Amino acid sequence: MIGTLNIDKASVEMDRFLQSVSIVKKAGGTISRYHFKREMEILMSGTSSMLEQEPSNYRELSNERTPYNKSKLPRYFGFIKLTKLRESHYADLTLTKRGKLLSNLIEENDGQWDITPEKEYEFMKLIIESVLYDSFGKCNDGVEESNSDIEPPKALLKSIYLLNEVTPDEILYITWGLNAGWFDSFDAAILKVKELREKPNGTNDIKSKVDELGKKNFSGDNKLIEFFVKVKLLKSETRDGNRYIKFDSELFDKYKNEIQQLNPIYRPMQLVLSGVPGTGKSFYVENSILGGVSDTNNIVRTIIHPDYSYSDFVGYIKPSSSGGLINYKFYPGPFTKALAKALANKKSSVFLIIEEMNRGNISSVMGDTFQLLDRVDDFKSHKNGWSQYAIENKEIYNYIKSICGAAVKGILPENKLLIPSNLHIIGTMNTADQNVFVIDTAFRRRFRNLYLQIDFSESKNPNSYLHKMDKQSSGKVFNNVDNRNWCTFAQMVNKLIDEKNKEFTSIPEDKKLAPYFIQLSDLKDKRSFCDKVLFYLKNDVFKYTENLLNESYQKIYVDIVQNNGNPFDLFVKEE
């Protein structure tokens, strides 16, 4: 939808950005707008005229908002969300999961708030995840009045990716030109900039169009550009009197794949995360995709299994007896609950999480709701992101009507259903697993697939869970031998599987050891490791493989647990 598009004009002060997050953390994760203002005022000027106790009739004047506005940037990038947790004229400020992670990176020294160089990587990772999965044109607490399908941060980064470098005028021309309806697509906008660059007076043409937009002040003071320059993802240089913005080459190489995925025009997520067991699919959903969500009421979860049915997913009618009369009541399933939440709260993003999608017959589970997965793809339409085709279901319609009231008639056709643009559907599934159903092509094409590979690189981060696993396993399981830990053991096993498969052995990919196949508690001693990992390798992975783990499990257990053996020694002859 083409609508109101705003970018915060508050100053980009990283000190205030980090202070905002710290203030909310210090208050226990949630703080009233009044008390946030008071704390920020004290940090800004050393004192505050605001009372410690919030007045019951408190109302804010427009010229009193400066301290509160310091929270806009962390709200914009999903570190802080506005939540209505109590009766008050104003929403409270609450840390999201992403905000909690950031708060643990912030250090205060002599009144200065900063992120130390060794933690900058983690901060940048949080920023990238925000840009990937958050919405910035609408449903964003940093620009509450914005209701456009144009996504400024994504447009900025994707434009630089495609054009190598941009000027502030070119970014305004692309972003606000899309919102003005000048272009039919983002690609068309990029092509037009390339054409104008070839013209002798092309730069002047762009400047004239920027003036026409009435956004010239954003050209000289674009807060998004300044933010990304300050976090070092972008860098700025001046040539021939013009300012050019490009990527920091090192960070671009690191995040090239993520930047490539950015879509500058809003599309609701229909995404399936796939990978072998233990790659962290559910963790990724919870902490990366949902990292900017603070209201868990906007998240609906379900887990598919072989006996899971359409009525489990959508809902069912159940009879009850009262006073000799039989009544029939509709009980909503997770799909209906998520749909009702999204239609009732159009300014909030709602997420339907479907775990283990291929553990049951997903086509049968979804039934006619499958037709709702085709979404309108026209950012100029107010129905962009909505279902393209409606289905009829009187029971679900009446349930939604009981939630939304008479307003449902202005949202949905009579007795029919459509998925709104603020409802995201995210699934997880294991690849090449034994006991799964095949997902057909028609279903797959309606979802974007995100494959999570087996990746142990996070073990190098001293603050990571994987690093803790390595540190604990080295002493508790692998006898403190150099370079012997959980990650090196798992990688050795995976290499063996690849080598055996070259010898015409058929060990499926899902048998490999992914980083989170086990937990820290499985590395507390040799017995726990043996019962979880070696039992699995002996009886499931290398069961029919010659010259590998051919001894009985009892002998392996005695050698490792009772005789303090090293699990590596079971495979060392195969290295």
74 and 16 together in one domain: yes
301 and 442 together in one domain: yes
Q: Give 11 or 465, the one with higher predicted confidence.
A: 465
Q: Is residue 343 part of a domain?
A: yes
Distance CA 159, CA 497 (A): 42
Q: Is residue 127 part of a domain?
A: no
Quick one: pLDDT at residue 253? Answer: 94
474 and 415 together in one domain: no
CATH number at residue 288: 3.40.50
Q: Is residue 554 part of a domain?
A: yes
404 and 274 together in one domain: yes
DSSP per residue over 133-170, as a string? HS-SSSS-TTSTT---SB-HHHHHHHHHHHHS-B-HHH
Distance CA 485, CA 476 (A): 10
Distance CA 15, CA 111 (A): 10
* Pairing of β 106-109 and β 234-239: unpaired
281 and 238 together in one domain: no
**End position of a domain, from candidates 451, 480, 512:** 451
Q: Is residue 293 part of a domain?
A: yes
Nearest residue to 419 (alpha-carbon basis) of 352, 322, 501: 352
Distance CA 286, CA 293 (A): 9
Instruction: Check if the beta carbon of residue 489 is closer than 8 Å to that of residue 569.
Output: no
Under 8 Å CB-to-CB from 556, ≥6 apart: which residues? 530, 534, 538, 549, 570
Instruction: Check if the beta carbon of residue 397 is closer than 8 Å to that of residue 408.
Output: yes
Answer whether residue 219 shows pLDDT above 60.
yes
- Summarize the confidence of residues 62-69 as an average pLDDT: 88
472 and 441 together in one domain: no
Residue 89: other Cβ atoms inside 10 A: 10
Residue 537: pLDDT band (50, 70, 90) is: very high
Give residue-wise pLDDT tens across range 234-276.
999 999 888 999 999 999 999 999 999 999 999 999 999 999 9
Percent of the chain with pLDDT over 70: 98
Distance CA 515, CA 250 (A): 26
436 and 305 together in one domain: yes
How many helices and strands, by DSSP H and E, does the chain display? 24, 16
Q: Is residue 126 part of a domain?
A: no
Most confident of 81-85, 205-209, 517-521: 517-521
Quick one: pLDDT at residue 7? Answer: 78
Distance CA 349, CA 427 (A): 16
282 and 403 together in one domain: yes
Q: Which residue(s) pair with 350 in the sheet? A: 423
* Pairing of β 270-275 and β 423-430: parallel
Provide the 3-class DSSP secondary structure of residue 184: coil
Residue 395: pLDDT band (50, 70, 90) is: very high
Q: Which of 117-126, 190-199, 214-223, 421-430 has the lowest mean pLDDT?
A: 214-223
Residue 418: other Cβ atoms inside 10 A: 21
End-to-end CA separation in angstroms for the chain = 58
DSSP per residue over 258-318, as a string? HHHH--SB----EEEEEESTTS-HHHHIIIIISTT---GGGEEEEE--TT--HHHHHEEEE
- Summarize the confidence of residues 158-166 as an average pLDDT: 97
Q: Is residue 129 part of a domain?
A: no
Most confident of 72-86, 440-454, 523-537: 523-537
310 and 241 together in one domain: no
Six-digit token pair at 60?
A: 């804010």
Instruction: Check if the beta carbon of residue 426 is closer than 8 Å to that of residue 362.
Output: no
Taking the whole predicted model, whether its pTM rises above 0.85 is answered as: yes
286 and 426 together in one domain: yes
Quick one: pLDDT at residue 230? Answer: 93
Find tokens 């930047």 and name the residue: 259
For 160, the domain range is 150-266
DSSP per residue over 507-559, as a string? --GGGS--TTSS-GGGGSSHHHHIIIIIHHIIIIISTT-TTSS-S-HHHHHII
Nearest residue to 280 (alpha-carbon basis) of 92, 469, 152: 469
DSSP per residue over 117-131, as a string? GGGHHHHHHHHHHHH
Answer whether residue 574 shows pLDDT above 60.
no
Q: Which helix (H) or strand (E) holds 76?
A: helix 72-76
Instruction: Check if the beta carbon of residue 74 is closer than 8 Å to that of residue 43.
Output: no
Answer whether residue 433 shows pLDDT above 60.
no
Q: Which residues of 443-465 are buried (b: 16+ CB within 10 A; e: fewer)?
A: beeebeebebebebebbeeeeee
Residue 547: pLDDT band (50, 70, 90) is: confident
Residue 281: other Cβ atoms inside 10 A: 25
Q: Is residue 144 part of a domain?
A: no
Nearest residue to 450 (alpha-carbon basis) of 275, 267, 276: 275
158 and 276 together in one domain: no
**End position of a domain, from candidates 213, 247, 266:** 266
Under 8 Å CB-to-CB from 64, ≥6 apart: which residues? 37
Q: Which residues of 323-359 are buried (b: 16+ CB within 10 A; e: fewer)?
A: eeeeeeebebbbbbbbbbbbbbbeebbbbbbbbbbbb
Number of domains present in the structure of the chain: 4
Give residue-wise pLDDT tens across range 20-52.
999 999 999 999 999 999 999 999 999 999 999
Q: Is residue 545 part of a domain?
A: yes
Answer whether residue 534 shows pLDDT above 60.
yes
Instruction: Check if the beta carbon of residue 379 is closer than 8 Å to that of residue 178.
Output: yes
* 84 backbone dihedrals φ, ψ, rounded to 5°: -95, 90
253 and 346 together in one domain: no
Q: Which helix (H) or strand (E) holds 335?
A: helix 334-344
CATH number at residue 36: 1.10.10
**End position of a domain, from candidates 242, 266, 290:** 266
Quick one: pLDDT at residue 398? Answer: 95
Q: How far is CA 72 from CA 6, 75, 397, 544, in A?
A: 12, 5, 37, 59
* Mean pLDDT rounded to a whole number for the chain: 92
Answer whether residue 57 shows pLDDT above 90.
no
Answer whether residue 363 shows pLDDT above 60.
yes
